[in-house]
Amino acid sequence: MSRALKRWPSWVVLVLVVGGLLAVGATRDSAPRTPQERVEDISRRLACPICDGESVFESRNADSQAIRIEIARQVDTGSVSDDQIINFIEQRFGSKVLLVPRATGIDALVWALPVAALVCAIVGLGFAFHRWKTTADTVPDDDDRRLVAAALAEDTDL
Amino acid sequence: MSRQAVSDPVEAPRRRRTAPFVSLAIALVVAVLFIVLANGKASKPDVTSSFLLNRPAPAAISTTLDGKPFDLSRRKGSWVVLNFFQSTCLPCKAEHPELVAFAAQQASIADGAELYTVIKDDPDSAVAKWFAEHGGSWPIVKDDDGAIATAFGVAQVPETWIIDPSGVVVSRIATTITADFLSTKLDQFRRVYG
């Protein structure tokens, strides 16, 4: 069995495990079960419109409190999704209240750049490994053979 | 050692060819990012735009300070001006005499606009005291849970909104106004919307 054939099952297992975990992570039902959990989850994704670095969930000011009440009111209707509620608040207060950037427009760079960097890093590592392998496979010349022979002769003398 | 002699002639030129291309690619990406970000919209707040413009005004149901019911949807047929106010806000205080003048201007014409103050996160007693001391006899709408402010997306005061007789939002002014500015704007809207 060739070396390449011996190596591939480990790579396949690795790809399957990573792919499986990503699939589970992407498709698992992460929706909060109770209305209160939904309100908290949504308010964690929105920034307080008048303060710095605080989410609507954390902030105690009147605007955040009013937004939490509005979120709770819409959750209680039972007919709107989390994204629709977030969209409602964003339309009124602007995109500055979004703590999780959208995957469209220039905001998409936030998601795309790390992936691009990861791909570049993997490709770079691939090139580096390939170069090291090529260097390691260099054919020994006469000088190398003489060195090895001398070393072996020393061992024999001992 | 001679291994060096074997590998160098092959490896050295490859490094020299790759590095400039990688550097150029990184420089291009940085340049594109710079151009995109430099041409992006400034983060300066826009004091006139709103998702609600040219859309039906959101529901606003409450009571006034003197205990009367207030329902914005029942004001259809009149031009309505909503002014979000807080008695501790200096620009709101500076704007108040202009609102008094504006109310007088509108009272003197046949289809004058209805002016309402909406309390933004302020005790009723403080607002009542301010109006008693500085004038203003138009209705003051309570907004205890901030529902009206949230429905309009008002985070900072003063903000003034104009709603046409069909209940559609036609203007948002998220800064201080003057009586003449507001009256002129309303005249323009009356000519456009009839």
Residues A12-70 have pLDDT tens digits of: 777 888 888 888 877 665 655 799 999 999 999 999 999 888 999 999 999 999 999 99
Nearest to B87 by CA among B138, B134, B148: B134
Using the beta-carbon criterion (under 8 Å), do A135 and B11 form an inter-chain contact? yes
d(CA B185, CA B161): 11
Cite the DSSP H helix spans in A60-141: 62-77, 82-93, 108-136
A148 conformational bin, left if phi > 0, alpha if psi -120 to 50, beta if neither = alpha
Strands B69-71 and B61-63: antiparallel
In 3-state terms, what secondary structure has residue A123? helix
Structure letter (DSSP) for residue A79: -
Q: Are B163 and B72 in contact (CB under 8 A)?
A: yes
Report pLDDT digits (tens) over B37-74. 777 665 555 678 899 999 999 999 999 999 999 999 99
List the single residue in A66, A70, A144 with the smallest CB-CB distance to B3. A144
Strands B159-163, B169-173: pairing kind: antiparallel
Q: Tell me what pLDDT residue B7 has.
A: 46
Do residues B78 and B165 touch, judged by C-beta distance below 8 A? Answer: yes
Put simply, the answer to whether B156 touches A131 (Cβ < 8 Å) is no
The pTM assigned to this predicted structure is: 0.71
Q: Are B21 and B147 in contact (CB under 8 A)?
A: no
CA distance B106 to B133: 22
CB contact under 8 A, B11 and A140: no
With residue B15 as reference, give the H or E element that holds it.
Answer: helix B2-38
Rounded to an integer, the average pLDDT of A66-78 is 95
What sections of chain B are H helices per DSSP?
2-38, 90-107, 124-134, 147-152, 179-193
Q: Residue B99 burial by CB count (10 A; 0-12/13-18/19+): exposed, middle or buried?
A: buried
Sign of CA dihedral A51, A56, A57, A62: positive
The reply to whether residue B145 touches residue A66, judged by beta carbons under 8 angstroms, is: yes
Contact assessment for residue A122 and residue A72, using Cβ atoms and an 8 Å cutoff: no
Contact residues, chain A to chain B, C-beta under 8 Å: 49-50, 62-63, 65-67, 69-70, 91-94, 106, 109, 131, 135, 138-144
- Token pair listed for A28: 């698992």
Closest C-alpha to B187, from B109, B122, B117? B109
B150 vs A91: CB contact, 8 Å cut-off?
Answer: no
Annotate B40-52 with b (16+ C-beta within 10 A) or e (fewer).
Answer: eeeeeeeeeebbb
Which two tokens mark A142?
């006469």
pLDDT of residue A73: 95
Q: Are B133 and A75 in contact (CB under 8 A)?
A: no
Q: How much is the pLDDT for B36?
A: 78
What's residue A66's pLDDT? 96
Model confidence at A6: pLDDT above 90:
no
B86 inside 8 A of chain A by CB: no
pLDDT digits (tens, 9 = 90+) for A90-110: 999 998 899 988 777 777 888
Label residue A7 by pLDDT band (50, 70, 90).
low
Domain B61-193: state its class.
alpha beta
> Hey, what are B108's tokens?
């003197």
Structure tokens belonging to residue A44: 């964690």
Does residue A2 surpass a pLDDT of 80? no
pLDDT of residue B23: 83
pLDDT value of position B166: 95
Cα atoms in the Cβ-side hemisphere of radius 13 Å centred on B120: 25
- Measured between beta carbons, which residues in chain A are less than 8 angstroms from residue B51? 91-92
**CA distance linking residue A67 with residue A65, whole number of Å:** 5
Residue B21 sits at the chain A interface (C-beta within 8 Å) = no
pLDDT of residue B40: 67
Show pLDDT as tens, one digit a residue, over chain B (194 residues). Answer: 444 444 454 454 555 577 788 888 888 988 888 887 777 665 555 678 899 999 999 999 999 999 999 999 998 889 999 999 999 999 999 999 999 999 999 999 988 999 999 999 999 999 999 999 999 999 999 999 999 999 999 999 999 999 999 999 999 999 999 999 999 999 999 998 76
- What pLDDT sits at residue A158? 64
The token pair that represents A108 in the structure block:
């998409």
Mean pLDDT in residue range A136-149: 82
Q: Which of the residues B2, B49, B118, B150 would you substitute to probe the A interface, choosing the one with the greatest number of A C-beta atoms within 10 Å?
A: B150
Looking at residue B74, what DSSP letter applies?
G
| Cα Rg of chain B, angstroms | 29
Convert the pLDDT of each residue in B176-193 to its tens digit: 999 999 999 999 999 987
